[in-house]
Amino acid sequence: MTQRRSYQVGTGLFILLGFTTLAYLATQTTSIANFSQGPSYMLKAHFTNIGQLKLRAPVKLAGVRIGSVESIALDPDRLDAIVQMSIDKHYGNIPEDSSASIFTSGLLGDQYVGIQAGGSSDMFKDGGEFILTQPSMQLEDLIGKFLVSGSPAQKPADASNNASQDKPATNPPANDNKP
Amino acid sequence: MNQIRKPPSMIGDALAQIGACGLFLVQIVAAIPKSLRHVVETIRQIWFVGAMSLVIIMTCGLFVGMVLGLQLYYVLSIFGGTAALGTVVSLSLYRELGPVVAALLFAGRAGTSITAEIGLMRATDQLAAMEMMAVDPIAYVAAPRFLAGLVAMPLLACAFNAMGIFGAHLVGVNWLGLDNGTFWSNMTSGVDVWKDVMNGVWKSIAFGGVVALIAVFQGYTTAPTSEGVAYATTRTVVFSSIVVLALDFVMTAFLM
């Protein structure tokens, strides 16, 4: 009987250990770990382009995570994106003239909403809306602008006609101009 | 008498084996309610195939994690992305290596012993004796071992994953000097519970069932000789490795 008891206890320990490990891995090494479920309030912002912003993306102020993106939808009247953010109640004093922008962490990392605090003494209330917003910066647009602005003299030809064929021929002058 | 009648065809034999294995699974599932009366036997089997495999699974998990840490650090450093080490290691462990390597080890450690045990029961007519005593050997011998595989395998895979991540942390952070916070925070932002962790759990449940089924079936249908038991043990390892890897591909394609 003691023999039987001991392996039953051992099996119980084994199963307990297994489920504890699963629970630990599932909560501590996954995205649940950054998912705070405290009391929060909602803010919204209109963006002309949200880029690759995803649901539950972080909302940061001065680089500190203060909330997450709750929903992303298209505003049918203004034809731009409306982003709802839930902000932790701890951070209740965000000035009303703050601006919201969409940034990329690192060169190719995930996108997040960054908030630059304003100077107003009026604070956001639940359901408040950012007046000043800045859309996501598109890498393709940046490269396009850089290529076009690189050589002002050849601009019309570069931009419209022979963009694809004469690349090797038109690029060296652009490089020469820079330094 | 039957054996000398005509040479068996390979394809027909293989089909017959697969068919018999499938029917055996049906018999086991049908016998599960009856086997719940012998729940103590199931617990004993979980102890035997699960808890006793814990040490080898955890040791191997540690080394697999350490190797992954080293190799991926080298590969990622080519692209200047060593910060992603935690994410890459944990994703490859959760989604692929944890369930598969743990299942292969499980086949080698627990599957063989199940086959040898049941095969010896067959060879010494213990199974026939049980039937004589109106004890259903499928409910008393086969089903508890099958259930034990089903329960133990996901837990073992979790232990493997945990040790693997610990090993990668050991190599990446303590040895190669990666930042501790980067390692964990990239991991927590890159790994999803349902898509990644549970994906591996479903896989390991399936692998546990498959390995235990093959082991029990091979033992149950072994030729009642010492040579037959030896063959059956070998076949358990070979078949379960092949089936685990093939099933892994299929499940990965469906769970993607």
DSSP structure string for B220-234? HT--SSHHHHHHHHH
Q: Are residues A110 and A63 in the same domain?
A: yes
Label residue A166 by pLDDT band (50, 70, 90). Answer: very low
Q: Which residue has the higher pLDDT, A5 or B16?
A: B16
Q: Is A24 domain-assigned?
A: yes
Nearest CB partner across the interface for A25, out of B47, B158, B184: B158
Q: What percent of chain B has pLDDT over 70?
A: 97
For residue A176, give both structure tokens. 């020469």
How confident is the model over B31-57, as a mean pLDDT? 90
Q: Where are the alpha helices (DSSP H) in A103-166?
A: 139-150, 155-156
Whole-number Å distance between alpha carbons of B179 and B50: 35
- Give how many domains chain A has, as a whole number: 2
CB of B89 within 8 Å of a chain A CB? The answer is: no
Question: Which domain, by its residues, includes A83?
Answer: 38-139
Nearest CB partner across the interface for B51, out of A10, A32, A33: A10
Alpha carbon of B209: minimum distance to chain A alpha carbons (Å): 17
Q: Are residues A55 and A19 in the same domain?
A: no
pLDDT tens digit sequence for B79-135: 888 888 999 999 999 999 999 999 999 999 999 999 999 999 999 999 999 999 988
Whole-number Å distance between alpha carbons of B47 and A6: 10
- A115's enclosing H/E stretch is strand A111-116
In the predicted model, what is the mean pLDDT of chain A? 77
Tell if the CB–CB gap between B90 and A22 is shorter than 8 Å: no
Q: Which residue has the higher pLDDT, B239 or A36?
A: B239
Q: Is A56 domain-assigned?
A: yes
Give every strand in the sheet of A64-75, ordered side by side: A128-130, A40-47, A80-88, A64-75, A58-61, A111-116, A99-104, A132-134
Q: Are residues A25 and A79 in the same domain?
A: no
Q: Are residues A85 and A47 in the same domain?
A: yes
B127, B141 Cβ separation under 8 angstroms: yes
How confident is the model over B72-84, as a mean pLDDT? 89
Label residue A34 by pLDDT band (50, 70, 90). Answer: low
Whole-number Å distance between alpha carbons of B234 and A55: 51
Label residue B7 by pLDDT band (50, 70, 90). Answer: low
B31, B143 Cβ separation under 8 angstroms: yes
Alpha carbon separation from B168 to A100, B62, B67, B187 (Å, rounded): 38, 8, 8, 12
Q: Is A57 domain-assigned?
A: yes
Label residue A151 by pLDDT band (50, 70, 90). Answer: low
State whether the Cα torsion B212-B238-B255-A20 is positive or negative. positive
Q: What is the pLDDT of residue A35?
A: 60
Label residue A108 by pLDDT band (50, 70, 90). Answer: low
pLDDT at B5 over 90: no
Q: Are residues A15 and A67 in the same domain?
A: no
Q: Is A14 domain-assigned?
A: yes
How confident is the model over B195-216, as a mean pLDDT? 94
Q: How far is CA B136 from the centre of its chain?
A: 26
Q: Are residues A51 and A96 in the same domain?
A: yes
| Residues of chain B with C-beta less than 8 angstroms from the C-beta of A17 | 54, 155, 159
CB of B135 within 8 Å of a chain A CB? The answer is: no
Q: Which residue has the higher pLDDT, B62 or A51?
A: B62
pLDDT at A124 over 80: yes
Q: Are residues A46 and A111 in the same domain?
A: yes
Q: Are residues A98 and A134 in the same domain?
A: yes
Q: Is A152 domain-assigned?
A: no
Q: What is the pLDDT of residue B97?
A: 94
pLDDT tens digit sequence for A62-100: 888 888 888 899 989 888 899 998 888 888 888 888 889
Whole-number Å distance between alpha carbons of B236 and B211: 8
How confident is the model over A108-126, as a mean pLDDT? 84
Q: Which residue has the higher pLDDT, A117 or B247?
A: B247
As for the ipTM of the complex, it is 0.77
Q: Are residues A87 and A19 in the same domain?
A: no
- State the residue for tokens 């109640």: A89
Q: What percent of chain B has pLDDT over 90?
A: 75
Alpha carbon of B4: minimum distance to chain A alpha carbons (Å): 48
Q: Are residues A79 and A9 in the same domain?
A: no
Q: Is A148 domain-assigned?
A: no
Q: Are residues A64 and A83 in the same domain?
A: yes
pLDDT at A163 over 70: no
Q: What is the pLDDT of residue B243?
A: 95
Q: What is the pLDDT of residue A178?
A: 42
Q: How many CB atoms lie within 10 A of CB A35?
A: 12
CB of A55 within 8 Å of a chain B CB? The answer is: no
Domain ranges of chain B: 42-255
pLDDT at B163 over 70: yes
Those residues whose C-beta lies under 8 Å from the C-beta of residue A152, and which sit 6 or more positions away, are none
Q: Is A162 domain-assigned?
A: no
Q: Is A170 domain-assigned?
A: no
Q: What is the pLDDT of residue A4?
A: 64
pLDDT at B179 over 70: yes
Q: Which amino acid is at B166?
A: F
CB of A149 within 8 Å of a chain B CB? The answer is: no
State the maximum Cα–Cα separation within chain B, in Å, rounded to a whole number. 71
Alpha carbon of B49: minimum distance to chain A alpha carbons (Å): 10
| Residues of chain B with C-beta less than 8 angstroms from the C-beta of A19 | 155
Q: Are residues A24 and A68 in the same domain?
A: no
